[in-house]
Structure 1
Amino acid sequence: MTSNSYNFLGAEFKNKDVKAGNVLISEPFLNDSNFSRTVVLITEHNEKGSFGLILNRPLNKNLADIVSGFDNVLIPLFTGGPVDLNTLHVIHSIGLEVPGTIQVSENLFWGGDFDYLRTLAESHSLDPQTVKFFIGYSGWMANQLNAEIKAKSWVVTNLKPERIFNLPPEDMWNLCLESLGGKFREWLNFPVDPILN
C-alpha cells in the first residue's frame, strides 16, 4: 500500500476527492460544533453540492416517538446534521425492494417509501440493524466540501455497511481512527478542547 492508502474495517481507500458512499471523519479540532468528532456518510456529491448524514450523533428519542406505525421495533433517531431539522431521512441495507430508494454503494441505500418501511415494522419484518433514521442533514454548497477536504478538515474513507449500522455511535469516531492507524491513531490522544493541550 502507498502512504495514503489504508485498510479501514475491511475497505481500502485512497484519500482523494469524495464521492457518494464515502465516509468523512472529522479532524479532532474541527472548528464547528455541529461536526466535532463526527463520522459523516456522504449520500450525494456532485457539481451542485453535497448531502450527508452524521452517523454518530444519537438523539434521546426513538422513531416511534415521532412517527406512528413503528411501535413494534426499537429504532433510535440520530441527528443527521444542522440543516432542515424538520425533515426525516433514512439509510438502510434492505435493498431496492424499498420503492423509491437510491443505491449509494454496495448494500447501502438512501431514502425510499416510508409507508413500505412502516409496513415492514408493523409486520415485525424490519430489522433495526438494517436501518438508521435521521432528523435533519448535513449540506455543502458546490465545491465547499472539496475545499474543506483540501484544508484537511476531513479524512475521506469507506466503511462497510454493517459497520455503519452496528458500530456503537459513542465509539464510532475512535474506532474509525484506530482502524486507520498511524498519525490518525494519535488523534485519539488530542483533548476535545485544544486549550487543554
Structure 2
Amino acid sequence: MSRETIFFLHTLKDLEGALPLGNGLYLNGDFNAVQQYILDGKPIEGVIRFFAGYAGWDHGQLAKEIKENSWLIGKAGKETLLNQHFRDLWHTSLNEMGGKYAIWARYPQYPSLN
C-alpha cells in the first residue's frame, strides 16, 4: 500500500491523458491542468474526486482473487462515485448492486452487539 500517490476520477472529457472509464467518467490525466482548473475557481464537487494511495498486486494476483470471488465487482454510478461521502460509499454501492448485496449493506457493523 502506498499513500504517496494521488489518483482522481472526473468528468473532464477534454483533459489530456485522461483514461475513459465509460459513462462519462475518466481516470487521471494532466494533473497540472487539473490544478489550474481548480485555481480558476471552476466547480470541483460532482466533477473531480481525489484518492490518496493505492494497493498493488503481483502479476496475476488480482485476476486470481477475482476468480476466487474475493472481490465484489459491480457498476458504480458516476453520481455515487463523485458525490457520495466516503463514509457512505461502500454502503451505497452495495445497495445499488441490490439483492444479497443490499442485505449486506444493512448488516450491523458489530453483529455480536445485537
Normalised by the size of structure 2, how large is the TM-score?
A: 0.80
Partner residue, 2:102: 185
Q: 1:193 & 1:143 partners in 2: Cα distance?
A: 34
Check conservation: 2:19, 2:29, Cα contact below 8 A. Answer: yes
- Give how far 1:193 is off: 5.3
Check conservation: 2:11, 2:26, Cα contact below 8 A. Answer: yes
- 1:27-58 CA deviation, whole Å, 9 max, x = no partner? xxxxxxxxxxxxxxxxxxxxxxxxxxxxxxxx
- Give how far 1:86 is off: 1.4
Choose the corresponding residue for 1:91, options 1, 4, 9: 9
- The alignment status of 1:144 with 2:61, answered yes or no, reads yes
Check conservation: 1:90, 1:134, Cα contact below 8 A. Answer: yes
Alignment of 1:1-197 (within 5 A): 82=1, 84-95=2-13, 97-192=14-109, 196=112
- Give how far 1:185 is off: 2.4
Counterpart residue identity of residue 64, structure 2: A
- Give how far 1:131 is off: 0.5
Comparing both structures, which one devotes a greater share of its residues to helix?
2
Percent identity among equivalent residues? 27
- 1:144-180 CA deviation, whole Å, 9 max, x = no partner? 1222223322221111212210122222212222232
Q: 2:15 & 2:98 partners in 1: Cα distance?
A: 37
Check conservation: 2:6, 2:52, Cα contact below 8 A. Answer: yes
* Structure 2 portions without partners, runs of 5+: none
Counterpart residue identity of residue 169, structure 1: F
Comparing both structures, which one devotes a greater share of its residues to strand?
1
Normalised by the size of structure 1, how large is the TM-score?
A: 0.50
Check conservation: 1:104, 1:110, Cα contact below 8 A. Answer: yes
RMSD of aligned Cα (Å): 2.2
Counterpart residue identity of residue 89, structure 1: F
- Give how far 1:142 is off: 2.5
Check conservation: 2:74, 2:97, Cα contact below 8 A. Answer: no
Check conservation: 1:117, 1:126, Cα contact below 8 A. Answer: no
Counterpart residue identity of residue 176, structure 1: S
